[in-house]
């Protein structure tokens, strides 16, 4: 819409998102909290979705490490007990605004088993 509107206010703008702590270390079996901070330049309501992006991590087990509310700015993660030191877990927070069209931006947190 930026190409066809006459003003900044005439188009929807993407939310601005960042992870509170983008990198952290946690022991196998330990639970930690991850949080994303987001604002929307247009004041649109925002929805959150945390995903354990297993293909990008190095943990070879089948356990999903998300243990909290995935539809919140803040959620909890538990490193599986069978994780080995150095295994990584790549968590992505997808934040979407309720503008038209809806726009999405991402934050990433990488947890390393220590």
Q: Where are the alpha helices (DSSP H) in 1-114?
A: none
| Alpha-carbon span 26 to 52, nearest angstrom | 15
pLDDT in tens, 10-64: 889 999 999 999 999 999 999 999 999 999 999 999 999 999 999 999 999 988 8
Tokens 């997808």 — which residue? Answer: 94
Asked if residues 113 and 28 have their Cβ atoms less than 8 Å apart, the reply is yes
pLDDT value of residue 9: 77
**What pTM was estimated for this model as a whole?**
0.89
Peptide bond into 14 cis (omega under 30): no
Span 80-87, average pLDDT: 96
Summary count for the chain: helices (H), strands (E): 0, 7
Q: Which two tokens stand for residue 65?
A: 């490490």
Positive/negative CA dihedral, 56, 60, 66, 70: positive
Average pLDDT over residues 81-94: 97
Beta strands 23-26 and 104-113, pairing class:
parallel
């Amino acid at each position: 819409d930026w190409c066809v509107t006459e003003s900044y206010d005439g188009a929807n703008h993407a939310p601005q998102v960042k992870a509170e702590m983008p990198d952290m270390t946690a022991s196998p079996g330990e639970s930690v909290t991850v949080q994303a901070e987001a604002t929307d330049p247009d004041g649109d309501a925002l929805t959150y979705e945390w995903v354990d992006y297993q293909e990008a991590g190095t943990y070879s087990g089948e356990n999903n490490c998300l243990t909290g509310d995935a539809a919140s700015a803040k959620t909890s993660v538990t490193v599986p007990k069978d994780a080995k030191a150095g295994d990584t877990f790549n968590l992505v927070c997808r934040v979407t605004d309720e503008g038209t069209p809806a726009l999405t931006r991402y934050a990433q947190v990488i947890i390393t088993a220590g």
